[in-house]
Chain A
Amino acid sequence: MAPSDQFDSTGNAQTGTRPGEQVSDKELMEQVKSDDASAFGILVDRYKVRLLNLIYRLLQNKEEAEDILQETFLRVYRERESYDPTYAFSTWIYTITLNLCRNELKKRKKFKFFGIDLIKNNREYASQGVENKNCLSSTLDKAILSLPVKYRTAFLLRDVNQLSYEEISQSVGIPMGTVKSRVNRARLMLRDKLKPKIKEYYELSKSSPMPIQLL
């Protein structure tokens, strides 16, 4: 997989077009305002994978992630009239996604006392990781999930979803300086957690022709 390709398949984040595609996000939204379901479907396809993964890494639960993803798009549709094309669509949809995640996390906090949700999530997550115990991706996932939410969010938006600092600042609602420092902290924490594994995988990769991620 080419570098920076994973979620950056929009190509140009500003206009929301991918190489080879004609219609921008904004143009699609114009059509959606006239109740065009197929235009909406295109937008959904453009954003669903990266939003799903963002939500999943914030909430740690696959089922809920899909529910929230669904609700995000429903909200976009419900509030289509209020979309202001002077702002990037991507910023708008990320804002909605993050708000929903934030609400969900707040809800969970209330039940921290009972611990039910926590147990449920931990058990779910643990069982998912079991088969891949030695897999790098699971190590990486665990490392990311161990980051505190604020840092994790900033990190995911920047380094995984490739949003600009400007967009992150708008979507999360914090100053740019704060974004930068959170991203930085997250990166450093991540590096520290991965340090022992990095060396191991590096050593292995030296003797084997396989790329690191397949080990």
Chain B
Amino acid sequence: MNCRKVRRCLFSYFKNELSEEEKAEIKLHLEGCPDCAKEALEVERVTSLVRNSLETLTPSPDFNQKLLSQVQKLSSEKVREVRRASFSPLRIKWALAGSFMAIILVSVLWFTHKRTPISPEPISEESRGTESLQLVNKEGREDSMYQEILNRLMNESQFATKTFVLDNFRSVGTRGIDGMEKLEDLHKRFIIETAGYGAERRRMENHYVLPVVSTQQASEKVNY
């Protein structure tokens, strides 16, 4: 083995990635070649440094607890599909059936319309169980494409409950077909509260979305 080849293999040598034969060859070479031996020493030190001297972070003490509470929510909640036609007659009938819910919707719509900007109160414990969110813009008009994207986000992403405040979507500009990206862009412009952990409040603009409360939580207060 020549020096060049040996040096290329030095890391693998110390990391036990070589065959017995190769190891023996290298060892032999190192015994006879002081330059390569010096190089080998450096490599050995680097590998042992990496192994032994890296600072190890540990998660915060309440990490498990926070996680498990999220998990419990996941296993007890039944995730329902939000129909696309959110304002279809069927849906309205359903909403009206829980009349309390209807009242909330209407008053919240009015509330949004009248007051901008508003700094939202933190979501209370009770309303954390919102199963779905409905996107409306400032005029209170539903936007179904983004509704679908939002639903996907809700089901897949890290925010168990979100409060998005959305103004006119169009002001963000079109970013192509991948609405997921676009909505994630919108993140940065919204007030986001991550339920439970690492509350992250990035307040950019005042935009609101209506939380749609399920019949289970119809009696609970909606804060946003």
Contacts and interface: CB of A to CB of B under 8 A. Distances in A.
A118 interface: no
Q: Is the interface of B mostly helix, strand, loop or mixed?
A: helix
Contacts of A62: 57
Given A56-B57, A141-B55, A74 B46 contact: no
Interface string A68-79: 011101110110
Interface stretch (A86-94, A168-176, A190-198): A190-198
Interface in A60-112: 62-63, 65-67, 69-71, 73-75, 77-78, 107, 110-111
Given A3-B52, A56-B57, A198-B42, A159 B66 contact: no
A136 interface: yes
B198 A66 contact: yes
Interface residues on chain B, size class: 35 or more
Contacts of A191: 11, 42-43, 46
Given A52-B59, A111-B188, A136-B49, A6 B74 contact: no
A63 B92 CA distance: 42
Nearest to A159: B50
A213 B71 contact: no
A138 B53 CA distance: 9
B51 interface: yes
A66 B194 CA distance: 13
Given A45-B64, A52-B57, A137-B55, A77 B71 contact: yes
Given A56-B57, A70-B67, A70-B197, A77 B74 contact: yes
Interface stretch (A11-19, A23-31, A35-43): A35-43
Interface of B: 11, 15, 42-43, 45-60, 63-64, 66-68, 70-72, 74-75, 156-158, 184-185, 188, 194, 197-198, 200
Given A70-B67, A136-B53, A212-B49, 19 more contacts: A3-B51, A6-B54, A37-B71, A41-B68, A52-B59, A53-B54, A56-B57, A66-B63, A74-B67, A78-B74, A137-B55, A140-B54, A141-B54, A159-B15, A159-B50, A160-B54, A191-B42, A194-B46, A212-B45
